[in-house]
Amino acid sequence: MERLPLFATATRGTEPMLATELDALGAKKIRQDRGGVRFMANLHEIVRIVMHSRVAMRVLYPLGEFEAPGKDGLYDAAKQVPWEEWLSPNTTFAVEATLKDSEHTHSGFVALRVKDALVDRLREKHGVRPNVDTKDPDVSVVAHLAKQHLSLSLDLSGEPLFKRGYRVKTTAAPMKETLAAAMLIDLGYTGDEAFVDPMCGSGTLAIEAGLIATRRAPGLRRQFAMSRWPEFRAMAQPLLDEARKEAQAMVRPAPAPLFARDYDEEALHAAKRNVTAAGLGAIVRLEEADALTAGPPDCTPGLLATNPPYGDRLAEGGQKGMKSFFFALGKTLGAWDGWRLGILNGNTAFESAFHQKPQRRVRLWNGPIECRLLVYGPRGARSADRV
Ligand SMILES: C[S@@+](CC[C@H](N)C(=O)[O-])C[C@H]1O[C@@H](n2cnc3c(N)ncnc32)[C@H](O)[C@@H]1O
């Protein structure tokens, strides 16, 4: 099977975790780039990647890169792509554009120029034009314009891969599913040890941990755009069906307990709805508890991973109040003997206020906020903490 050059996009900072994951899924010639990872994969490997990747946001098949000055440059560049190889007159499509340092200020305008070129080319080839369907297109075209450099790609996955289908209720500041998964992968969580998020909000970390612990492929219950492409469908669909069967056979009971705690009733309510929608209702235990006073659950120590408030809301008593909160948290969590900690925070005062020595720090972005994932060795193992 021929290997295609592909690009998987990732939340900023998670490129190394994505590269590790792609390697494990059989991708070749893996090269990290800003905002994603380039790699080569055949259809068999592509299907495994979209089914199993927990970190990739989208998997793109690049169609071409062009210098595209002005509005005519955009049209002329997009018209060179052999769209007829990917779309028939009955195929619906949509174009999504992103811009970086471009002379154009509206991404919608760039998308429109690409759309016009695509429609004109197909009309010239087939005599009819394909229809746009922005809600549920068969083929999603992704255009990225950096200065005057236009990249055009097809999105193999369709709906972004972070849309796992379980987020039915949100709270303030939920994490992206892919960021939570990347954090757990970086922390070496395999699901074989106990897991606690003592400030779970809508439950993202606990749900991603539950999916890892039960070996549930994130794509198990969703569809992928490539199975609707005219030329690809016949080859991709049987492979996707087979990959789904294999993924289903991998599912196992969780070998260790998982806990999602929060002191806020509304957050716990949202977490409960999401945990249930993820099919983890019998696996993730939800508990109302204050992280400043509650001790570890009664089980063999494992991993505590959490994303405490950053204090960007005035209601939290300003930076002084946040520092006292982080200090009190450090005292409590520092006493969780035997537990490893992974804490993601975007407040620059967190590390010193928390007052524990991290083994390492990882730079990650939670949306636009630059954060640190601080990794602490097993509590009580003081010598291991010193680096
Ligand atoms: C940034 S949010 C977590 C978001 C979560 N990662 C998600 O994806 O939805 C922080 C959470 O910490 C909770 N929290 C703050 N202080 C707490 C405390 N002392 N004990 C327990 N939960 C707390 C808040 O109620 C909030 O749900």
Co-location of 110 and 206 in the same domain: no
Query: Which atom of ligand 1 is least distant from the CA of 291?
Result: 20
Per-residue pLDDT at 352: 96
Q: Please name the helix (run of DSSP H) or strand (run of DSSP E) that holds residue 125, with its range, or none.
A: helix 107-126
Answer whether residue 89 shows pLDDT above 90.
no
Per-residue pLDDT at 231: 75
Q: Are 169 and 223 in contact (CB under 8 A)?
A: no
Task: Give the global pTM.
Answer: 0.92
Probe ligand 1: pick from 166, 176, 199, max atoms within 8 Å of CB? 199
Co-location of 258 and 142 in the same domain: no
Co-location of 143 and 211 in the same domain: no
Co-location of 268 and 358 in the same domain: yes
Co-location of 196 and 135 in the same domain: no
Q: How far apart are CA 207 and CA 79, in angstroms?
A: 44
- Is position 387 within any domain? no
- Is position 236 within any domain? no
Per-residue pLDDT at 383: 43
- Is position 55 within any domain? yes
Average confidence (pLDDT) over 230-241: 87
Distance between Cα 309 and ligand 1 center (Å): 6
- Is position 165 within any domain? no
- Is position 225 within any domain? no
Length of the chain as a residue count = 387
Distance between Cα 201 and ligand 1 center (Å): 5
Distance between Cα 346 and ligand 1 center (Å): 14
Query: Which atom of ligand 1 is least distant from the CA of 264?
Result: 25
- Domain edge (last residue) among 103, 122, 155: 155
* Tens digit of each residue's pLDDT (9 = 90 or more) over 251-276: 999 999 999 999 999 999 999 999 99
Q: Are 66 and 150 in contact (CB under 8 A)?
A: yes
Q: Please name the helix (run of DSSP H) or strand (run of DSSP E) that holds residue 246, with its range, or none.
A: helix 233-250
- Interacting residues of 258 by C-beta distance below 8 A, sequence separation 6+: 194, 195, 196, 206, 209, 210, 213, 280, 283, 284, 285
Distance between Cα 274 and ligand 1 center (Å): 15
Diameter of the chain measured on Cα atoms? 74
Answer whether residue 374 shows pLDDT above 90.
yes
Count Cβ atoms below 10 Å from residue 100 Cβ, excluding itself.
10
Q: How many domains does the chain have?
A: 2
Average confidence (pLDDT) over 350-371: 96
Co-location of 268 and 338 in the same domain: yes
Co-location of 75 and 201 in the same domain: no
Answer whether residue 317 shows pLDDT above 80.
no
- Is position 279 within any domain? yes
Q: How far apart are CA 287 and CA 124, in angstroms?
A: 62
- Interacting residues of 327 by C-beta distance below 8 A, sequence separation 6+: 353, 354, 355
Average confidence (pLDDT) over 287-297: 97
Distance between Cα 198 and ligand 1 center (Å): 8
* Tens digit of each residue's pLDDT (9 = 90 or more) over 116-165: 999 999 999 988 888 999 998 999 999 999 999 999 999 998 889 998 88
Order of strands, sheet of 28-33, starting from the edge strand that comes earlier in the sequence: 28-33, 36-41, 4-9, 58-67, 149-155, 139-146, 93-100
Co-location of 359 and 326 in the same domain: yes
Percent of the chain with pLDDT over 90: 80
Query: Which atom of ligand 1 is least distant from the CA of 310?
Result: 1
Query: What CATH number does the domain containing 304 carry?
Result: 3.40.50.150
Per-residue pLDDT at 306: 98
- Residue 386's pLDDT band (boundaries 50, 70, 90)? very low
Distance between Cα 268 and ligand 1 center (Å): 10
Count Cβ atoms below 10 Å from residue 127 Cβ, excluding itself.
8
How confident is the prediction for the chain on average, in pLDDT? 93
Co-location of 107 and 207 in the same domain: no
Co-location of 129 and 198 in the same domain: no
Query: Which atom of ligand 1 is least distant from the CA of 267?
Result: 27
Percent of the chain with pLDDT over 70: 97
- Is position 19 within any domain? yes
Co-location of 27 and 151 in the same domain: yes
Query: What CATH number does the domain containing 93 carry?
Result: 3.30.2130.30
Q: Range of 141's domain?
A: 4-155
Residue 98's DSSP bridge partners are: 144
Distance between Cα 286 and ligand 1 center (Å): 13
- Residue 382's pLDDT band (boundaries 50, 70, 90)? low
- Is position 337 within any domain? yes
Ligand 1 site residues (CB inside 6 A) read 171, 173-175, 198-199, 201-202, 204-205, 262-264, 267, 290-292, 307-309
Query: Which atom of ligand 1 is least distant from the CA of 175?
Result: 8
Side-chain-side CA neighbours of 285 within 13 Å: the count stands at 13
Order of strands, sheet of 360-366, starting from the edge strand that comes earlier in the sequence: 284-288, 258-262, 195-197, 303-306, 340-345, 369-376, 360-366
Co-location of 151 and 186 in the same domain: no
Query: Which atom of ligand 1 is least distant from the CA of 271?
Result: 9
Q: Percent helix, strand, coil in the chain (nearest 5)? A: 35, 25, 40
